Amino acid sequence: MMLKRFSKALLLLCISAPAFAQLPADEQTATELSKKYKKEDVACLSSYHYFTFDKGKNALGEKVVVIQEDAEMEFISLKKFATLTYPEFYNRFVQLKVFKKAVKMGSKYITSDRAGIDHAVTEDGVFFDDSRVQYYPLRFDQKGAMQRITLKKEYSDGKYLTRVFFHMPYPVKEQAFEFKVPEWLSVDFKPMNFTGYKIEKTETKKGGYTSYVFVMKDLPPITNEFKSVGRAFRDPHIVIQIKSFEAKGESLKGFDKVDDIYNWNNKLYMMAGNQPDKLKPVLAKILQGKTTEEDKIKAVYYWVQDNIRYIAYEDGYSGYIPSSAQDVLEKKYGDCKGMANLLTEFLKLAGVDAHFTWIGTRSIPYPQSLPALCVNNHAICTIYYKDKEYFLDATEKYVPFGENAFRIQGKEAMIAKGDAFEIKQVPLTTGNEHKVQTNASLALNNNTLTGSVKVTLTGNERTDFQQEYQQLPMTSQKDFLNGMLEFGNDNMQATDIKTSDLSNREVPVTVEGKVNLDNNVNTIAGDKYISIDFFPKTLQRYTPDEKRVTAYDFDYVLTYDDDISLTVPNGWKFTDIPQKLELTSDGYSFKGDYTVVNNTITLRKTLTIKNNIINVSDFANWKKFLESIKEFNKYFLTVTQNAK
């Protein structure tokens, strides 16, 4: 039975016999809210989360703080026909005990018998985990109709309630978090990004408890924008830090200091159960013929990159305890923890000063000084070699020793050293270390441009190329290389491709070949009009419109460096040479210049993204920057005959 692409008409079928009579409980409220949030269908009138604390034991048998969350959200429809899907996530550490939907009829809420729809929500790239969701589709057929969600969640170990955000995907009239803290518990609620927001905090003591209440009003919905900087960098939220608690007269530690986090991480790391002897036969083969320490480090690092596939099992504590090194080696797959563990053990056996390391990628804003589990989301290996730290990320393929992926640059690494630990920062790099350099030498033959192009990639640009190229089917690799020289221009055809040694990840990647470009020369009234500036649309997607509310995060820094020359036949000359353009600001710069020598014109163009973030406050300047580049890109060269 073929489904129709459009069946909105079906809505009208229900009209003559409404299934149930939801009354427009507060149409006026809906009208007011719909004026404020014109694009939204549903708003939340009140969202109240109430957290209570108790004592219990975790799956490892340890005494821990158990947290219960009781929440109630009341939704109102801002349109006659409106839907909203309300999801609630849970896993082995966070149990969803109660999840109910109720529909308001008159002045009363009638609770639905139906359970929420349950699904796994394993992310792409994770083979297996325990993440699940229950959700209710909330459907409204009246403006002002109301529905309510109530839920009860239990955090079987308080460590896993790390933070709460105020903003939701829908507008919220009032968002409140209340924490009822007993006297036996020491807990801290760290405000994050509160500056600029009106968030009311009250503290009340009563009957052996202290209640902390955080209330924020009139919250717009969170927006999902292209290349947006992460929520944790911009949206107000609270990080919950259970510092210590008393149980039967005993004072037990939570996460009060960084040491506590380290001790917890290290305890789980030690549970991996490594058996280094089992690694020795393979290691011996890897190190065969390697005499210097650096050669050994590279041999091991590259072997793990090339031979261990990323497959993640993240079920319960297996999301935190690394697989044993011997298990990862035997299976030839693992997640970041497993790979980091194997790499560390290999290097230790090879005599290298290697250490398992926790780190948060750049998507996380928190420093290691914040004692919370939300600080780190990744595992690598750190080595000390020639009085310097090197950070080895085995999940990154084709990375040369000594270089780091941008996603961990500038981040603090927590390096395991037995009972102690060390925190070191992964070095930052500049845009000049990650280059796409294009050299093209073209000649005009009738109405076709022919010549040669060479593209050179360094730094992360080289690594990105390698990761994409090496993962392609063999049958597609030639087309990919051709595409490197064809600038995404359908009229360009590359032949006779040569590359640098692509099996060597340490040298810059070069791709060069001959090119033939059609449909790029317009002959009008005897003159020729030609463009040799091939990247007019590169940054178009990063032009913010008036609606954009979040900063851009490119997730990289880099430099495009172009040197493109065009030679025209003797007897022809260039006229109307475009003016040069030079723009510099803190985060980005551009320089473009055409020079003519005899019958050859050369475009030298450099664009550097120095800072991966474009803040909203910088949008006006950024737009001006892009407009100027666009204007520079617009130029066609005019080629006329000398006799004219």
Partner 1 sequence: MKHYFATHRVKAFFLFAALLVSGTLTAQTYIDDGFLDNIEKNAKSVWDEPSPAFTSNNTPDAWKNESAIIMGYKRSILFDKKSSGGFFTARENSVYFFEKVRFKIKVQDKNSVEHFSEIYFRYGDKQDGFNAHIIKPGGEVQNVDLKEAVSVESTSDVPEFFKSFFDQSYSSQRRYYKVAVSNLEPGDILEYVANTKSNLNVTGAGFVEFTPQYEVCSKSYPVAYNEIDIETDSKSFFKSLSLNGAPEFNKESTDDKDFFKYVFIDKNREIQKDINFINELTVYPVVKFQVIYANKPNAKGVLIGDKGELKKGFSREELAKKAWEDYEAVGDYPYAPGNAYATVQFVINSSWADLKKLGAKEWPEKQYVERAYYYVRHLVVYRDTYLSDKMFAYIFGSLLYQRDIQSELVISISNDIGKLKDVLFDQEIRYAIKLNNQYYFNCTDHSNPGDMVQSLLGNDAYIIYKPAAKTGAQDIKPITLPEVTADDNTAVYNIEASLDAGMNNLSVKRKNTFTGISKAREMDEAMKFTTYMLDDYKYYGGGSPTDNMKSAQADEYQKSTTALKDEFKEAKPEFAKQELQREFGHNVKFSDYKIASDGRSVKNKTLDFTETFELPDITRKAGRKYLLSLTGLVGGQLQIKEEQRDRKLDISVGYPHTLTWNISFKIPDGYTVAGLTELNTNVENEAGKYSCEAKEENGSVVIKIIKCYKQRNVPKENWKNMLAFIDEAYNSSFKYILLKPKS
Residue from 68, 102, 132, 604 that binds partner 1 (CB under 8 A)?
132
Residue from 87, 106, 351, 367 that binds partner 1 (CB under 8 A)?
87
Q: In angstroms, rounded to a whole number, what is the distance separating the alpha carbons of residues 203 and 211?
A: 6
Residue 460: name the closest of 486, 431, 480 by CA.
431
Helix, strand or coil, per DSSP, at residue 36 = helix
Q: In angstroms, rounded to a whole number, what is the distance separating the alpha carbons of residues 482 and 512?
A: 9
Which residues does residue 123 pair with via DSSP β-bridges, in sequence order? none
DSSP one-letter code for 322: P
CB proximity list for 9: less than 8 A, separation 6 or greater: none
286 touches partner 1 by CB under 8 A: no
Instruction: Write down the least CB distance from residue 306 to partner 1, Å.
Output: 9
Contact range with partner 1 by CB under 8 A, out of 275-283, 288-296, 309-317, 588-596: 309-317
Binders in 539-578 for partner 1, by CB under 8 A: 540, 575-576, 578
Contact range with partner 1 by CB under 8 A, out of 53-61, 113-121, 289-297, 436-444: 113-121
When the beta carbons of 339 and 561 are compared against partner 1, the nearer one is 339
Angle CA 394–398–404, to nearest 5: 65
Helix, strand or coil, per DSSP, at residue 210 = strand
When the beta carbons of 131 and 559 are compared against partner 1, the nearer one is 131
531 touches partner 1 by CB under 8 A: yes
When the beta carbons of 16 and 292 are compared against partner 1, the nearer one is 16
When the beta carbons of 181 and 629 are compared against partner 1, the nearer one is 629
- x-marked contacts with partner 1 along 38-57 as a string, rule CB under 8 A: --------------------
8 touches partner 1 by CB under 8 A: yes
19 touches partner 1 by CB under 8 A: no
Q: In angstroms, rounded to a whole number, what is the distance separating the alpha carbons of residues 235 and 241?
A: 19
Burial class (CB in 10 A: 0-12, 13-18, 19+), 278: middle
When the beta carbons of 111 and 575 are compared against partner 1, the nearer one is 575
464 touches partner 1 by CB under 8 A: no
Binders in 196-215 for partner 1, by CB under 8 A: none
Q: Are 282 and 98 in contact (CB under 8 A)?
A: no
- The residue assigned the tokens 């030639």 is 478
Torsion of CA 529, 532, 533, 534, to 10 degrees: 110
Contact range with partner 1 by CB under 8 A, out of 173-181, 310-318, 430-438, 614-622: 310-318
Residue 342: name the closest of 287, 352, 312, 332 by CA.
332
Token digits of residue 83: 């839907």
When the beta carbons of 189 and 529 are compared against partner 1, the nearer one is 529
* C-alpha pair distances (Å), 295 with each of 15, 35, 291, 394: 76, 67, 7, 17
When the beta carbons of 103 and 408 are compared against partner 1, the nearer one is 408
336 touches partner 1 by CB under 8 A: yes
When the beta carbons of 124 and 586 are compared against partner 1, the nearer one is 124
Residue from 74, 157, 393, 562 that binds partner 1 (CB under 8 A)?
393
597 touches partner 1 by CB under 8 A: no
Instruction: Write down the least CB distance from residue 386 to partner 1, Å.
Output: 27
Instruction: Write down the least CB distance from residue 305 to partner 1, Å.
Output: 12
Binders in 140-169 for partner 1, by CB under 8 A: 143, 160, 162-163, 168-169
Strand 637-641, strand 527-530: pairing:
antiparallel
Residue 175: name the closest of 193, 201, 152 by CA.
201
- x-marked contacts with partner 1 along 492-511 as a string, rule CB under 8 A: -x------------------
Instruction: Write down the least CB distance from residue 400 to partner 1, Å.
Output: 18
Contact range with partner 1 by CB under 8 A, out of 117-125, 182-190, 209-217, 433-441: 117-125
Binders in 314-333 for partner 1, by CB under 8 A: 314-315, 319-320, 330-333
345 touches partner 1 by CB under 8 A: no
Residue 20: name the closest of 113, 110, 150, 107 by CA.
110
Which long-range contacts link 393-397 to residues 24+ away (Cβ below 8 Å)?
Answer: 393/336, 393/340, 394/301, 394/304, 394/305, 394/308, 394/336, 394/339, 394/340, 394/342, 394/343, 395/310, 395/335, 395/336, 395/339, 396/305, 396/463, 396/467, 397/305, 397/306, 397/466, 397/467, 397/470
When the beta carbons of 12 and 597 are compared against partner 1, the nearer one is 12
Residue 69: name the closest of 147, 169, 180 by CA.
180
Binders in 371-390 for partner 1, by CB under 8 A: 373-374, 376-379
Contact range with partner 1 by CB under 8 A, out of 51-59, 95-103, 521-529, 595-603: 521-529
641 touches partner 1 by CB under 8 A: no
When the beta carbons of 560 and 632 are compared against partner 1, the nearer one is 632
